[in-house]
Amino acid sequence: MAQLIVATSECDVVNEVICAPANVNELFEFPTIFTIGGFEVTRTIILMFLAAFVAVAILYFGLRGQRLVPTKFGVAVEGLVSFVRDGIARDVIGPEGTKYVPYLMAMFFFLLVGNLFEVTPLINFPITSRMAIPAFLALVTYVIFMFVGFAKNNFRYLIDTAWPKAVPIGLRWLVGLIEVFSIFILRPITLAVRLFANMVAGHLMLTLLLTSGVIFIAAIPEIGLKGSIGVFWFGLGLFMFLLEILIGVLQAYIFTLLTAIYIESSIHFEH
């Protein structure tokens, strides 16, 4: 709601078409609430712990007490769990994938809850739109697939990537260079930036359209017919709301899927 107030007080309804706050950062940076041992706790951090807590609670209450006839909620959670375990871990990585199910499962549920915070009433802030969270998760994924690659293949992992035997000798250095650059440098960066940018774009679009809609509808008596554009912005905002639910789920899925694919490519990296 603070965002709405910021935009309302500064918006020049007569001349502007979309009401944006003066600085984009106002939408993503919250003031410090209190400080613990040098760490400044903001709304984002509280929401991050809330997301982790909600993810654990969903799994706990969904899978607790196996009954003969499970509850509807239990069936839904079981569907999600088997989707990650069978659809992502075992399909992509193979039989060895079972070992990575806990990591993939934790990440999928955390990201799902975190992304859907964007469309949760009263929260309305996707925690994954702060770069620190996707960057840290991508870093953990990077460490895991590097570790797996070097543990399974020793230093052949690095050498065969930089000097691929299957490629004709003339092109080998070029292909090797591209491969090393894309695997060791580009992979973690794009993994983090993809999630981050999607969530930032969604949050910005929702905030701009919905605030503009509310402000222009409220200003209809002053600016007359032009105020009816607010109805259009608000309608578009509501449509984006539905789209953002889809994008939030899809991005959580893609982040988990890419993690699984990167781990798989480290295990069987020859092809």
Partner 1 sequence: MEGSIEALVPALSLIGYGLGAIGPGIGIGIVAGNAITAMARQPEMQGTIRTTMFLGIALTEALALIGFVLFFIASA
Binding site for partner 1 (CB under 8 A): 24, 87, 91-92, 190, 193-194, 196-198, 200-201, 250, 253-254, 257-258, 261
In the complex with partner 1, which residue's Cβ is closer, 180 or 197? 197
What dihedral do alpha carbons 172, 174, 175, 176 form, nearest 10°? 80
Strand (E) or helix (H) holding 241: helix 229-267
In the complex with partner 1, which residue's Cβ is closer, 234 or 255? 255
Task: Note the residue count of the chain.
Answer: 271
Query: Taking the complex as a whole, how short is the minimal distance between the CB of residue 53 and partner 1, in angstroms?
Result: 28
C-alpha 70/C-alpha 250 separation (Å) is: 27
Query: Taking the complex as a whole, how short is the minimal distance between the CB of residue 13 and partner 1, in angstroms?
Result: 22
Please name every residue paired with 39 in a beta bridge, in sequence order, or none if there are none. Answer: 36
C-alpha 94/C-alpha 164 separation (Å) is: 24
In the complex with partner 1, which residue's Cβ is closer, 92 or 112? 92
Query: Taking the complex as a whole, how short is the minimal distance between the CB of residue 11 and partner 1, in angstroms?
Result: 19
Closest CA to 206 of 133, 126, 144: 126
Strand (E) or helix (H) holding 192: helix 187-218
Query: Taking the complex as a whole, how short is the minimal distance between the CB of residue 194 and partner 1, in angstroms?
Result: 5
Query: Taking the complex as a whole, how short is the minimal distance between the CB of residue 204 and partner 1, in angstroms?
Result: 9
Q: Which residue has the tokens 């929702």?
A: 206
Query: Taking the complex as a whole, how short is the minimal distance between the CB of residue 40 and partner 1, in angstroms?
Result: 23
* Buried/exposed 193-203: b ≥16 CB within 10 Å, e otherwise: ebbbebbbebb
Strand (E) or helix (H) holding 36: strand 34-36
In the complex with partner 1, which residue's Cβ is closer, 54 or 266? 266
C-alpha 123/C-alpha 54 separation (Å) is: 13
In the complex with partner 1, which residue's Cβ is closer, 97 or 230? 97
**39 secondary structure, DSSP code:** E
Strand, helix or coil at 16? coil
In the complex with partner 1, which residue's Cβ is closer, 196 or 216? 196
In the complex with partner 1, which residue's Cβ is closer, 214 or 258? 258
Query: Taking the complex as a whole, how short is the minimal distance between the CB of residue 190 and partner 1, in angstroms?
Result: 4
